[in-house]
Amino acid sequence: MANRRQYPAKEPAVSKDEMDRFFESGGRAIHSGARPWIPPVDIYETAEEVVVRAELPGVEEKDVKIEMSGNYITIQGKRVLKGGRVRYVCMERSYGPFQRTLRLPVIVKKDEVRAEYHFGVLTIVARKQNGQSPSYVRVEIE
C-alpha cells in the first residue's frame, strides 16, 4: 500500500467567531445545563452490609436526598454554581441537578440504613436482610 500524504482541511472545523463567542461566554456553551452530571459511585459488600460511596464535591449536605425502594437506592441533589458575576476562563466541572438510581445486589433492612457525608463523599451503609424489603424508605444523612 502506498503512503499518501494528507493535507489539513482548508477551512477550520470551528470558525474564529465561534471560538470568540465560546470564550466570551466563559465556556457556558458546553456546560449550559443541557447535559446533566453524573457523580461516580462505588458499591461493595461485606458479609453483613452493602456500602455505597458517591463522590459529590461541591454539593452541600442539605441539597442531597436519598431514597430506597425495594433493593434500589436513589441519590439525587444539585451542585450550585457560585461566584456571582465572574468570567470563567475554563469550566470543566458540571453544575445543576443530578440523580443516580442504583440496584443493590441484595435486599437490605429498612431500619438499619445510615448515611454520612464527609469532605464531598457520601457513604451509605445498609445491613443485609433475608426476605422482603420495604416498599419505600427515606434515608437521612447523619
Residue 5 CA neighbour count, 13 Å, CB half: 1
pLDDT digits (tens, 9 = 90+) for 26-67: 554 444 444 578 999 999 999 999 999 999 999 999 999 999
Residue 12 has pLDDT above 70, yes or no: no
Domains of the chain: 16-139 (2.60.40.790)
Write down the pLDDT at residue 24. Answer: 59
Q: Is 40 exposed, middle or buried (CB count within 10 Å of its CB: 0-12, 13-18, 19+)?
A: exposed
- Strand-pair partners of 76: 65, 99
Write down the pLDDT at residue 97. Answer: 93
Please tell me whether the overall predicted TM-score, pTM, comes out greater than 0.85 for this model. Answer: no
Of residues 57 and 132, more confidence is placed in: 57
pLDDT interval class at 82 (50, 70, 90): confident
